[in-house]
Amino acid sequence: MRNSQIEVRPIAGSIGAEIHGVDVSQNLDDRTIRDIRQALLDHCVVFFRNQTLDAERHKAFSRRFGKLFIHPNYKGTQADPEVIQITREPGDKKIVGEEWHADTTMVSEPPMGAILYAIEVPPYGGDTLFANQYQAYEALSDGMKKMLGGLKAFHSDRKVAGPAAAMNAQRSTKVREDADWRETVSTHPVVATHPETGRKLLYVNHSYTNCFEGMTEVESKPLLDFLLDHGHRPEFTCRFRWETGSIAFWDNRVCKHLAIHDAGPFRRIMRRTQICGTRVV
């Protein structure tokens, strides 16, 4: 990045870069924030190493990129509604984010991004994968692109929250399962246009996308399954190995990601903020 105070080092051919030369706990100047945002747009997910970030500084850094998003399915389960602590204990049968997904896409205006900070990590295991959905779209045939162009899909949170999902019995990070919980459903285009870059991308994910508008789930399944698996072909991905003090900041509008459930006998504690977004177009 020319004339920048930060150093950007790509970590894979398709997605992901580490940013060096910046301490995000400080009150960064506008130019540095612009450079970080540009790196995010260029690489879809950016990473920082060796950061020391308490919850208030974590939130302050996140607010430089937008208003903080309050996750509806963690309300009342966390001490601070603007922050989600994600804890994995040995023996957990499930973990947060173990399917390929974009975050919280069941809402009408999904978050534009998330900033995840590593508080305690295992000596090995617990990596996170990211997948570039620009490339997922661009690799489709012209005929498939034309067919998908007018399609919309339903996104629901029934698999990840509420009494029927029964997540709390299987993992340490709790989600709403109370009797007042109600499913949230929104429709989004299958092919979206990124609001800042103007590039087209594939916008479906395992955790939230159920079926296409105007079709049943059974009718939707063959095509939807293909698109879901196509979106994380290895050549579209990068893999990030966490260290204590690491940060991942991903563009939720164009990334899918997956937490690998392989930490065995080790605890893993992360802290996440989300940044408000806009309607998917």
Angle CA 199–203–209, to nearest 5: 170
How does strand 17-20 pair with strand 45-48? Answer: parallel
Question: 88 catalytic, yes or no?
Answer: no
Q: Please tell me the distance from the alpha carbon of residue 223 to that of residue 241, in angstroms, as a whole number.
A: 32
**Of 43, 101, 194, 232, which residue is the catalytic one?**
101
How far lies 97's CA from each of 77, 111, 151, 206, 260, in Å? 17, 15, 26, 10, 8
Burial (CB count <10 Å: 0-12, 13-18, 19+), residue 266:
middle
Strand segments (E) across 64-127: 84-88, 113-120
Amino acid at 261: H
What is the separation, in whole angstroms, between the first and last Cα of the chain?
29
250 in Cβ contact with 15 (< 8 Å): no
Residue 220's φ and ψ, nearest 5 degrees, are -75, -25
**Of 35, 88, 103, 253, which residue is the catalytic one?**
103
**Of 71, 257, 268, 271, which residue is the catalytic one?**
257
263 in Cβ contact with 88 (< 8 Å): yes
Residue 235's φ and ψ, nearest 5 degrees, are -70, -10
DSSP state letter for 236:
G
66 in Cβ contact with 275 (< 8 Å): yes
Question: 272 catalytic, yes or no?
Answer: yes
How far lies 243's CA from each of 47, 236, 240, 259, in Å? 11, 23, 10, 15
Which residues are annotated as catalytic? 101, 103, 257, 272
